[in-house]
Each structure stands twice: as C-alpha cells, then as structure tokens.
Amino acid sequence: MTGCPICTHPERAAIEEKIRRGVFWTRLAAEYGLRAYLFAVHRFRHMPQGEDAAAGPAPEPRNAMGRTEFEEQWILVANMLRDVLQPFPEAWDRVFEGIESLDFCATPAS
C-alpha cells in the first residue's frame, strides 16, 4: 500500500516471510531500522489473512474516478495549498512543481 514503509521496502518479501515465520516485531524493527508497530500494522492491514494469504496482497481499492484514497488526499492537499497561495503565484508554482514531481500524485483539479 502506498505510504507504508514496509510495502515500499526493497526487502519486502523477506520481511513478510519473517513475519509469517513469527519473528518478533521488535527484532524486525532492530534489523530494518523501523518501529515495531509498523510491522504489526503491516501484518494486519496489508498482508492477506487466512485462505486469502496464498493469493498475495489485494490491490488498493479505487473510487469511481480510478484514484486511490491516498491520491485523492494529495489532490485535496494540492487544492488547499493552491487556494492559500493564490496571492503568491510564484510560491504556488514552486510548491506545485514539488507536488507534481512526486510519483503518487495526480494534477489538482481546477
């Protein structure tokens, strides 16, 4: 899932295998330099449970516009920043360039 440091970790498969084997989250936290609760959250929110475990992770749900909730939230943030920075067009241009450079963000609505 977008925003999850374990989902985007280069060693995700190894981490998930260790979680399935029952390695303590505190040990994983020490090994990978992340907080232990992130491994618990990842296990219960992002890893399939029960019979679905063999199918792999489920795709993130999308709305009618084809966007994930994360993308929608970034669009809202961009729109709020645009409204606040309207009196400062140069500042908005720089902020918009930064937001646009993020690979998970869509263009804000007009």
pLDDT at 106 over 60: no
CA distance 7 to 5: 6
pLDDT digits (tens, 9 = 90+) for 7-57: 888 898 899 888 888 888 888 888 999 888 888 888 888 787 666 555 555
Domain map (residue ranges) of the chain: 12-55, 61-110
pLDDT of residue 36: 85
pLDDT at 80 over 50: yes
Mean pLDDT of the chain: 79
To the question of pTM greater than 0.85 for the whole model, the response is: no
